[in-house]
Each structure stands twice: as C-alpha cells, then as structure tokens.
Structure 1
Amino acid sequence: MSEFVLAIEWQGFEKDKYVHTVLEDNILPPYIAQCRWFAGKARQIKLLKVKDTVHFGSFIFMTFEVKYDEGDSELYLLPLSFVEENTQEIAQKGVLCKASMDEKIGLLVDAIYDEKFRAKLFTSVFHQSTFPQHNDDSLVFAKGKAFVEETEEIDSILPNIDSSNSAMIFGGKYFLKLYRKIFAETNPEAEMVEFITQNSDFRNIPRFAGSISWKRETAPEITFGVMVEVIQSLKDDWSMTGDYLNDFLEAFVEGNFQIKESVFDKVSLLAHRTAEMHKALFALRGADSFNAEPFDRQYRRFLHEKFENLLERRYNLLTENYLKLDGQAQALAWKFMESKDMILEFIDQVLTRPLFSYRTRIHGDYHLGQVLATEHDLVIIDFEGEPESTITERKIKHSPLKDVAGMIRSYHYAVAAKLFNATETSTIEPKVLQRAADRWYKLIKDTYLDEYLGVFGSPHPLFKDNNEINYLLLFHLLEKAVYEIGYEVNYRPSWVKIPLIGIAEVLMEVEKLRR
C-alpha cells in the first residue's frame, strides 16, 4: 500500500472531482482486481468512473461504472468507511488506501470490514430506517417476518464464503447479502423471497428478514441488499446426490445396478418442495409482478426468438470447436447439427400450438446446488435468476416446468459426471457406462416428475393437460441442454457430451411426437 494519504470528506463527496479522479485512476483499479466480487477481471477495462453517492450516517454507499473494450458496461456497489488508525483491526483485503478525515489519520476501507458499519446496518433494519438524500432520493431499510429480534445489539461476522456478492451474518441468525454488481431495477431475489415469506406459508426457503433499497425519485429503485434467516445446513443437494452416487458407483463397479430406497425418498421430497414453491408463487395475489398470466402472443414470440438465437450461437460454437472434441462428443455434435431442421420445427410450434396453461414467476436458475439439505428437510436458496440474463428477463413469467427441466438436467449432470469421470470406471466401455447412466437418470427423473405433478393434482390452472405438460417440459429440457453447451465448450470440453446426450434424448421424444 502506498504512503499517499487521501484527504476525504463525506459531506460533498459526490462533487469532489479530485477524490473521484484519484479513486478512478490510482486506487480502484488495483483494489477491485483482487476482489472476488469483481466479475471483469478477464476483460480489458476502458474506463472506470465514480457515479453516485448514497449517504448512510457516517458511511457512504458509492457506485462506480466499469466500461470495457468489448461488451456491456457494469455497475458496482462499494460501501466506504473511514477508520481512524489504532481504533480497530481491519483485514488488509478491505483496505483501499491511507486517508485523512477531520484532521484524523486512518484508512479508507470497504465498509463491510468495519464492525461499526455492520452494526449500523442491523440497527437500521431493526428500526426500518429511512435516510433522505439531497435530491429527494432515499436509502430505505425494510423488515420482514423472519426478523424477530427485540434488541438492536447483536454481534456480526464476515463468513468465509466464495461469492460474487458480500455476506454478513448477525448473531448467527440473520444472513445479509450485499449485492456488488447492481442493476437499475429491484433485484429479483429480494422480490421473490419477500413475496413468498410475506404472502404464503411456504417455509422451505431462507425467509425474508429485511432489505436495503435505494429509492430514486426519477429512476427505478435499486436493491443494495437482502437479509434472510440463517439456514443450518449439512450440505447442498448436489453434494448429497454425489454421496448417493458414490454408493451407486461402488455397486456398479462390482456388477450390480442398485439404488437405495432412501435415494428415491430424497428425490420425492425435493419434487414435493419444488411443487410447494411453485404453488406458493401461483397463489400470490395483489401485485401485478406476481399474478399468473397466459401464454399470450408476445410471450410466445419472446420464447421463440430467444431459443432460435441461442440455437444459432451454439451451432456456431460447436462448428468452430468441433476438432477439439473427442470422438464420442464429435459424433453427438454431428447428430445434433444434423437435427437442426427438426429442432427448428419443434421450436416453431410454440408460436401456434394451443396452450392454455399459465405461467408465473419462477426460481429461474434451479439445480441441485440451489438446494440445501438440513437434518430433516430441504431448503431452496438463491432466487437471483439465470446469470446470463438481464434483470428484466429474469422477472419474466414462465411455466414452472422451466424450473423442473433445470432440476432434471442437474440430475443428468450428476450421474454422467460421476460415471464418466471416476477412476473406478476408466476401464469400462463408454457404451456400458452410458447404459447405466441412462437407467439411473430415467428412474430418478420419473420419480421426480410423478411426485411433482402429484402435488398439483389434475386439473390445475398451471398445467392444462398431459399434452401441454409434455410439450413444455421437452421444450425447456431442450433449451436448457442447448444452453449448457456454451459453458462446456468454453471451460470443460471433455464434458460437452453431457448436454449433447441430453439433447439426443429429447430429440428421441420429439421424434415420437412427430410420428
């Protein structure tokens, strides 16, 4: 850290061009480069600009914009605190630079590392405080059902979590997620968790305890953070499924195909909780953003265009990287590319096919890693939505079967990754491994679907009939598998066969529909 001392004042910080310039040119670039939450490390920064200042007592929330040589710019949130020297120990990774304020020497720090800042956050949620800004904007703290503290005095820690946001835990009871990459809209996670908690009896999520919002007079509200109850979990469901698959793998290597009954119990439980989540979202009323809607023409066009564009991008990606794939992946990729006309014909049906089912807000990024296993139950987490989508797109209402397809694909990944990447199976023929993986996957998939649909019963407004369920599920399974190709080609070429096998399976079902 440089010996340079930056003189700062919170009053008028938004107009202090000198401080802004020093931050932009000298302090922020090296600082954010070592921050886990900064997503632009691999991109060439063209311009970094301090944007807004939101006052919060003796602290500020500063936003800054990062523009790149290529691609969209990004907006980040950085809370700032001045900590006088010798008053508290600050982790080195939280220090921006040496600073002076009111003739005192100290450090300019990322405020989450300042225990006084964290205490101020909790007190503000406790009192549901509002901090008026100079331009009729307000920093607003809300409190939810899960906030049950009777005192504002509470300890806080920064858990060691590798995340794209920042986490704080208060009294071992409340988990506050401070968003770092922010958007000019309310965050879908804050909306979803608040509405489910406040308007339904569904308890298998980290229930809403509070939020921090910047309400702007002439622009959309921005969510700075959301507070939920802490979940005491054993592990996530991806890890737990891996444990079940270890037992399956051990038996398989010895020549047995064996799935314990307890595995089916857990799969059924997850399906049941998924259905309850979707029923809670469907039942919510009183806000347009959560009312169920039909498959109108505009939405159908959106689905069609998005899938067609995705398909074109993935075809191009596979064509460019075809020679880098192994023999099995090349054969599967070739089959996929040969089926383009059939896929396009299948996608086209979404424009004209009679669809009387409804669509609602959904989880949007649903897979085994988004489910925590507690001692006796399962808890669904992380409602931010699909990472590659815009905030507006994440709030679009879909058939809940889009979530179901995401979870089914996650099970397919789990078994394929286990069987094809284990040292114990390295001498077994791929054809034999594939047969075992397909059988496991089909049993798990059928168990999940039977329980899920059984919770709704028939008829239910979300699902008109079995024909619509079948079409929509195949549509979203195919969409999800095509989407997965992108990550695998770019980061794990040896795994690209997993989504390609998933595509081949869906195409077999599509072929049956055509016949």
Structure 2
Amino acid sequence: MLDELLAAWIARQRWFGGKGRPIDELSIDSDVELTPGLRHLIVAIWQEGSRDRYQVLLGERDSIPDRLTHALIATVGDLYLYDAVHDADRMGWLLNGMAHDETSGGLRMRHVPGVTIDTSQRSLVLGAEQSNTSLVYGDAYICKLFRRLIPGINPELEVITALAARDAPHIAQPYGWIETELDGTDTTLAIMQEFLATANDGWDLALASVRDLYASLPEITAAEAGGDFAAESLRLGSATARVHHELAEAFPTDVVEIHEIKRMAEGFRRRLGRAVAEVPELRQHVSTVEDAYHEVELHTSEVPVQRVHGDYHLGQVMRTPTDWVVLDFEGEPGQPLAERKALSSPLRDVAGMLRSFDYAARHLLPDSANIRAQAQELEPRAQEWADRNRASFLEGYVEGGGVITRGDAALLRAFELSKAVYEVVYEARNRPTWIAIPLAAFRPRPV
C-alpha cells in the first residue's frame, strides 16, 4: 500500500524527473528508521523499462500541524505520512548526525575534518529548486539533498572538499555530507556547505544592470548607465581564472593531442547537423558555425585539459560583500557521472559564462510584455551590454592568470557556438519565443 501512495505523491513533485510518463512500478529498495517518526527511503521507479532511484525522508505523526499540511503524502489509519524535509523538528537530526559522524542503517553522516557544526540551527526548505531539495539551517548552513540518486561520489563534493583543503578562495566552505552504498558504490545523498546569507545571485545582479540600461535615456551608453556591471564582470573573470588554477592544482591534468582536437570538431559538427534537422532557423547560420569549427581543426598545438565546473553561468555564482563565490560544481545536469568528472578545457567554462552574458542582455526582451514592444529598439543596447561585459570578463580572466592564446580564441569561439547550437534546440522545444536569444550568437562580433 505504501508503494502506491508514494507513487501517486512522487509523480506530483517538482524534483521528479519522469513527469509526463506513467509510473509502471515503484518499489522500496531501502527503509531505514533514523529516529522515531523519521524514516529514510530509497525508492526505485520503473518507467518504460528504465529505472531511476530517489530518496525520500518520510515523516510519521499521530497528528499533523498546519505548517506541515502542504507536505502531507497520505494517511494510513491514524498515522500521517509526510515529506519530512519540511519538518524542522525532524531535520535537526541530520545536522546532529553530520556533526557527530553518525552511522545508521547504512547511512553515513560525516563532517569535514577540522570544522565544528552548530547543531542548534533550525532548518527551512528553499522553494526555488527543481531537481534537488535544499535546507537552510539558520543563517549558517545550506544542505543540498539529492532527490534522484546516481551511484558514485557527487562531483561537487569531490571538488569543494579538495579546494577547501587547499584554502582556495571563491568557494563556499563545505561542512559535511551524507552517503550510502548504492550498487556497491559509495554514493552521495547530501552535501552541506556555508550558507551565503548576505550574498547576491549573479544572474539577478546582471539583470538589474540590464534593466537600468533599458530604463536610461537612449543616448546613455552601457558604461554610463547607473547599474554598469563591467567592474563586476572583470572581478568575476579573475575569480574564474583562480578557480581554474586551484582545480588544476588539486586534480590531475592532461593534454588533448591534435588528432583528438579534430575529433572534437567532428563531434561539434555532428551535433550541428542534428540541430539543423530539428530547427530549420539554424540553416542560415551553418556556414558561420562551420567556419569556426574549421578553425579548431587548424589548431597546431596540444590543448591542456583539467577538471572544470562544467555548467558555468551567472546563476552559479554569488557576489558576497567581498568577492565572487562559485557554486554547484556538479557538472551539466543529466550527463553521466563519468562525463561530468571528465577533464576538459577550462575554455568550456569561459564559453558558458559568455553565453550567460548574452542571455542576461536579452532575457527581458521576449519575457516582459512591456519591453517586448520595444525589442527591436532595445536590441542594440542589449548587444552593447553583452559585448561590454563579455570583454570585461575576458580581461579579468587573463589578468587573473587564465590563458587565452590566438589558438585558444578559436577553440573558445567553437565552444561558444556549440553551446548556442544546443540552446537553439532547447528553446525551440521549450520556449519558442526565446529562440532569438541564442540565434544572436551567430552574428559577427568581437571575441
């Protein structure tokens, strides 16, 4: 009976990855009582012949307070079953478990050596996330609970603990984690880090700058507008270079030989072909993209590769009162764990951030009814803002020790256009009115 109740509830959750497809079967692979009234479940969900596993913290109460009615899963007799992540009285147990390195029924709760965890902090669920659940404990910690489980150590846990051991700047201090064994492999269930209570999201700051520019008089340039973001882009570029340096010091590095670079360009080309077949608007830009890929094939030296962020954009960085902090080193969502940990050129991260500047500059044009009517008039201002902040970011990246040679510039352009090709397909499938944003990437522009 619990299987059926969980299946009906999970299908409605934002973090469930199988929406739109019927659940053929749900089974409970693991059921551990952590403390009276709190159970940890790992459930297997079968859909169309494939299996995914999710973790659920199941609360049990004889009566349920109003503050938890929204988290109710079902009632079984006189027992209320609910999603316990919303229950601060229960979630203190996780904080205490990490603080004291407790083990319960195969769940291992650990803290980072040398740190002290304040177990008096009470939890609150952040409401913005889609694929995971984050608990904020007071103003001290944020604990990311991975809902969909993938066997293996999460890349973010690997990266932040390695960088913290080097006292690297520009990261949020890790405090602890929870793990278990899945398919014979140590698997990360949750990560707890410093909560940046006074920080601002990079995407929000960039959009505020764009709004200021749009609201200013037509003769006001991006450099003269009140919310000019270029100085922040410069600092962010420098911080990015430092993070790449620390990653290269903390993890193995390698080089991609010339013949492998050609194979990389071939892969870009294959993805372009599939994209053009799906989105005809791309066809007029094929020669531009092909020229960029051909420049990569002319590369005459090896390309250094290392661990990188892998999904780098303005939404992954926070501005504290003193500097930029980089978050979410998990890699690109949906990719296999091995690919997310694979070595790559740091220019891949640089390209991701450049694309993010383009999105920030144009995001308001299709998304706001008031601004949409002025989109054609505002497009040159969007281009000016994007070019200014892209240039500042690249300047900061080089000043911070990042390397972009003439050959690197060709590779960077190829990474960026390959990302834009992906974005065109994504927007065509999900937000057709936004397709003009990635299509703008194929116009001639300064690097």
Give TM-score scaled by structure 2 length: 0.88
Distance 2:177 2:317 in 1: 22
Tell me the distance in 2 between the aligned counterparts of 1:471 and 1:452. 17
Higher Cα Rg: structure 1 or 2?
Answer: 1
Q: 1:35 to 1:87 in 2, by over 3 A?
A: closer
Which residue does 2:332 correspond to in 1? 386
Report the identity percentage.
Answer: 25
C-alpha contact (below 8 Å) 2:59/2:84 kept by paired residues: yes
* 8 A Cα contact 2:365 2:375, kept in partner: no
What corresponds to 1:208 in structure 2?
174
> Is 1:363 aligned to residue 309 of structure 2?
yes
Q: Which runs of 5+ in 2 are unaligned?
A: none
Q: Does 1:466 align with 2:405?
A: yes
Q: Which amino acid aligns with 2:142?
A: F
Shift of 1:228: 0.4
TM (normalized to structure 1)?
Answer: 0.77
Are 2:310 and 2:331, in contact at CA under 8 Å, matched by a contact in 1? yes
Q: Report the equivalent of 2:69.
A: 92
CA distance in 1, matches of 2:147, 2:35: 20
Residues 397/144 of structure 1: CA separation in 2 closer, same or farther (3 Å cut): same
**3-state SS of 2:444 partner:** helix
Q: Does 2:354 correspond to 1:375?
A: no
Counterpart mapping for 1:432-511 below 5 A: 433-456=378-401, 463=403, 466-505=405-444
| Residues 161 and 147 (structure 1), Cα distance of their counterparts in 2 relative to 1, 3 Å cut | farther
Distance 1:63 1:122 in 2: 20
What letter is aligned with 2:186?
Answer: E
| Distance across 1 between alignment mates of 2:292 and 2:410 | 13
Task: Tell me, yes or no, if the aligned pair for 2:295 and 2:410 is still in contact at 8 Å.
Answer: no
- The match for 1:143 is 111
Distance 1:341 1:371 in 2: 32
Match of 1:281 in 2: 247
3-state SS of 2:24 partner: strand
Deviation, structure 1 residue 267:
1.2
SS across alignment from 1:388: coil
How do 1:54-203 residues align onto structure 2 when only pairs under 5 Å count? 54=32, 56-58=34-36, 59-69=38-48, 72-83=50-61, 85-86=62-63, 91-99=68-76, 105-131=78-104, 133=105, 138-144=106-112, 147-149=115-117, 152-202=119-169
1:114–1:373 CA distance, 2 compared to 1 (3 A): same
User: How many residue pairs end up in the alignment?
Assistant: 444
Q: What is the DSSP-based 3-state SS (H/G/I as helix, E as strand, rest coil) of the residue aligned with 1:178?
A: strand
Post-superposition CA distance 1:300-328 (Å, at most 9, x none): 58745653443233112203xxxxxxxxx
Contact 1:146 1:228 in 2 (8 A): no
Structure 1, unaligned runs of 5 or more: 1-21, 285-289, 320-329, 458-462, 510-515
Tell whether 2:1 aligns with 1:33.
no
Give the aligned residue type for 2:302.
F
Amino acid at match of 1:191: E
In structure 1, what is the Cα distance between the partners aligned to 2:35 and 2:17?
Answer: 29
Q: Distance in 1 between matches of 2:369 and 2:243?
A: 38
Name the SS of the counterpart of 1:45 in structure 2.
coil
Q: How far apart, CA to CA, are the structure 2 residues paired with 1:374 and 1:168?
A: 20
2:237 equivalent in structure 1: 271
| RMSD, matched Cα | 3.0
1:256 aligned partner = 220
Aligned pairs for 1:332-347 (under 5 A) are 333-337=282-286, 342=291, 345-346=294-295
Query: Do the aligned partners of residues 345 and 291 (structure 1) sit closer, same or farther apart at CA in structure 2, a change above 3 Å counting?
Result: same
